[in-house]
Amino acid sequence: MIPIRRVVRFLKTPFQYQACLLTMARPLTLCHLNRWCLRKFAVELGGGTYPVYFALNANPSVKDYEDDLAFQKLFDCAKGYSVHVSTGDRIQRARLHCDLQNTLVSRLPKTCNVLDLVDFQPDVKNSVIKGFFIQDSKDSQQTDRVLQELFQRHSFNLCTYFREEDDKLWWQYVWSQTDHGEMTVVKKNCVVPTETPVTHPSETNIINNVVFYSFEEAYNVLKECIKIIPESKQVLEAAEQCLSSVKRGTFPVIIVEGLDATGKTTLTQSLSQALEGSLLKSPPECLSPWRVRFDAEPPLIRRAFYALGNYITAGQIATQSAHSPVIVDRYWHSTAAYAIATEVSGKAENLPALSSDVYRWPSDLLKPDLVVLLTVSPAERQRRLQARGGDKTKEEAELEANQLFRQKVEEAFKRIEDPACAVIDAGPAREEVLKEVLLLINNKCHL
Ligand X SMILES: Nc1ccn([C@H]2C[C@H](O)[C@@H](COP(=O)(O)OP(=O)(O)O)O2)c(=O)n1
Ligand Y SMILES: Nc1ncnc2c1ncn2[C@@H]1O[C@H](COP(=O)(O)OP(=O)(O)O)[C@@H](O)[C@H]1O
Q: Which residues bind ligand X (CB under 6 A)?
A: 260, 264, 282-283, 306, 309-310, 330-331, 334-335, 338, 393, 395-396
* Least distance between ligand X and beta carbon 394 (Å): 9
Q: How far is the CB of 282 from ligand X (least distance, A)?
A: 4
Cβ–Cβ < 8 Å for 406, 415 = no
Q: Tell me whether residue 283 or residue 368 sits nearer to ligand X (CB atom).
A: 283
Closer of 84 and 333 to ligand X (Cβ): 333
Of ligand X, ligand Y, none, which one sits near residue 387, judging by CB under 5 to 8 A according to partner kind?
Answer: ligand Y
Backbone angles phi and psi of 280, in degrees to 5? -125, 170
Q: Which residues contact 33 (CB under 8 A, 6 or more apart)?
A: 174, 186, 187
Instruction: Give the nearest distance from C-beta 185 to ligand X in angstroms.
Output: 42
Of 235 and 433, CB closest to ligand Y: 433
Amino acid at 323: H
Rounded-to-integer distance, Cα 191 and Cα 168, Å: 11
Give the shortest CB-331-to-ligand X separation in angstroms: 5
The verdict on 303 binding ligand Y (CB under 6 A) reads: no
Q: Nearest CA to 284 among 314, 260, 262?
A: 314
Beta bridge partners of 326: 253, 278
Instruction: Give me the least distance between CB of 310 and ligand Y, in Å please.
Output: 18
Q: Is 229 exposed, middle or buried (0-12, 13-18, 19+ CB in 10 A)?
A: buried
Where does this chain touch ligand Y (CB under 6 A) — which range of 15-23, 181-189, 197-205, 253-261?
Answer: 253-261
Looking at the Cβ atoms of 164 and 398, the one nearer to ligand Y is 398
Nearer Cβ to ligand Y (6/388): 388
Distance, CA of 348 to CA of 339 (rounded, Å)? 13
CB of 144 to ligand X, least distance (A): 37
Contact indicator for 370, 255 with CB cutoff of 8 Å: yes
- Give least dist CB 253 to ligand Y, A: 19
Indicate which single residue of 40, 84, 154, 264 sits in contact with ligand Y (rule: CB under 6 A). 264
The answer to the question of residue 437 lying near ligand Y (CB under 6 A) is no
Residues whose CB is less than 8 angstroms from the CB of residue 17 and which lie 6 or more positions away in sequence, other chains included: 8, 11
Q: Is 372 in the site for ligand Y (CB under 6 A)?
A: no
DSSP 405-435: HHHHHHHHHHH--SSPPEEEE--S-HHHHHH
Nearer to ligand X, 260 or 343 (CB): 260
DSSP state of 211: B
* Number of chain residues interacting with ligand Y (CB under 6 A): 15
Closest to ligand Y by CB, 176 or 268: 268
**DSSP letters spanning 240-252:** HHHHTPPPP-SS-
Binding segment for ligand Y among 110-118, 126-134, 153-161, 382-390 (CB under 6 A)? 382-390
Residues that bind ligand Y (CB under 6 A): 258, 260-266, 384, 387-388, 426, 429-430, 433
